[in-house]
Chains A and B, each alone.
Chain A
Amino acid sequence: MNSVASSITHPISFFWTFKKPLGFICMYGLFFIGIIIFVLILIASETNKPFPISMIAFITIFLTIILAFIFLTIFIFEYLLRKNFGFSVGEDFFIFNQGIISKEQKNLPYGAIQNIIITQDILDRILGLHNLVIENAASSGGLGMVYKQNSKYPLSIGFYGNTAIIPGLTKDNSEELKKIILNKMKTKSFNDDRSGL
């Protein structure tokens, strides 16, 4: 199939897989450690004698193992998501593939794309990544999924309802992909209804 651009020419950065686990560690890891330290201080002040060093070491190691386990679990999940996600800018349709176990494909006619958004959150800024969000006016990509659209972006990768997200692009790649899609929207728009609805 001849495609102008795809997930091979515009790959999702490998660093992207670290984003979620890092975010998790930043959010909850520090929170856990804070609580543990607080409890240790409380116990120390109650019993009024120095806290055994071995206990502190044990708790630290235990916590590290738990956090590492969580980190690894999320990392593997994100890795699989990334590995199973693909897109290609075809002749008439924008084709997305996703799904680790149950596979899904979205075929998006260029004329139906409503708007294109490029966003970055804090971790994206740190890792130098860009999210490309493509939206059409479909209410959902399957039954029973509409309720999830209440949140702003239900997903970090892939498509859901009317939104498709390609994360982990470099600045140049995201700009280039945006230009390609905008150009396709212009040349491949529906003849009888240019509103895309």
Chain B
Amino acid sequence: MNINMSPTREKYPLSRKKIIKKTISSIIGTAVGLFFIGIFFGPIIFGMLTTMTIPYSIILDILGKLMFWYPILFLIILALTYLYQRWYFETYFYDITEDYLIIKKDPITPKEITIPWERIQDVYVDQDLFDRIFGLYDVHLSTATLASGIHAHIDGTEKNAAEGLRTLLLEKVKNRISRPTQQIIK
């Protein structure tokens, strides 16, 4: 694996479980979709075949082939999803620099966000259902804008790394925002 490393990612790495988690969570939608397509279109195709004057044995043969290829289609989608998630995992880049936080992700349509520490409005850590199953944590950040909430998050770290990242980020933000009291009161 050729991972897009930064000093921060070396110290607080993403978990490899993230690839499996993302593969499963995104394949579930596909599986449900394929299931319903099968339920809706299966009888229609069967009906169409029976109205044509085709021998029954050939219809059964076609249906058998469909039954055989359907799971294989699913497996191909699964494999492609896994490869894509692996690629995504490899190219995920986040770096904590002196002045800015930089997050860059998505191998096909890259999105890179740069946030100065002073502008960070909140830092929060969350887990969804699959994160709980795999023991992963997402660290989110946001400035006062909508798009920052969409782009700025570090997903799929282990507990230690998530805690470490949170502490580090809070420390950075605190150091940057705090200043002598007289200056604020004036």
Contacts and interface: CB of A to CB of B under 8 A. Distances in A.
Given A152-B147, A186-B99, A115 B115 contact: yes
Interface residues of B, number: 28
A149 B119 contact: no
Interface of B is mostly: mixed
Contacts of A194: 118, 176-177
B100 interface: yes
A70 B32 CA distance: 38
Contacts of A163: 145, 147
Given A152-B150, A194-B176, A137 B144 contact: yes
A10 interface: no
Contact of B147 (A117, A182, A186): A117
A81 interface: no
Among B110, B176, B177, B183, the most chain A Cβ lie within 10 Å of the Cβ of B110
A125 B109 contact: yes
Nearest to B121: A195
Contacts of A97: none
A111 to B, nearest CB: 9
A197 interface: yes
B116 A182 contact: yes
A165 to B, nearest CB: 11
A26 B121 CA distance: 40
Contacts of B112: 117-119
Interface residues of A, number: 30
A122 B143 contact: no
A114 interface: yes
B151 interface: yes
Q: Which 5 residue pairs are nearest across A and B when measured between Cβ atoms?
A: A137-B144, A114-B143, A194-B118, A135-B145, A118-B112
Interface of A: 114-122, 124-125, 133, 135-137, 149, 152-153, 162-163, 178, 182, 185-186, 189, 192, 194-197
28 contacts: A114-B115, A114-B145, A114-B148, A115-B116, A115-B119, A115-B143, A115-B145, A115-B147, A116-B113, A118-B112, A119-B109, A119-B110, A120-B109, A120-B110, A120-B111, A133-B147, A135-B147, A137-B143, A137-B144, A149-B146, A152-B147, A163-B147, A182-B99, A182-B100, A182-B116, A186-B116, A195-B119, A197-B144
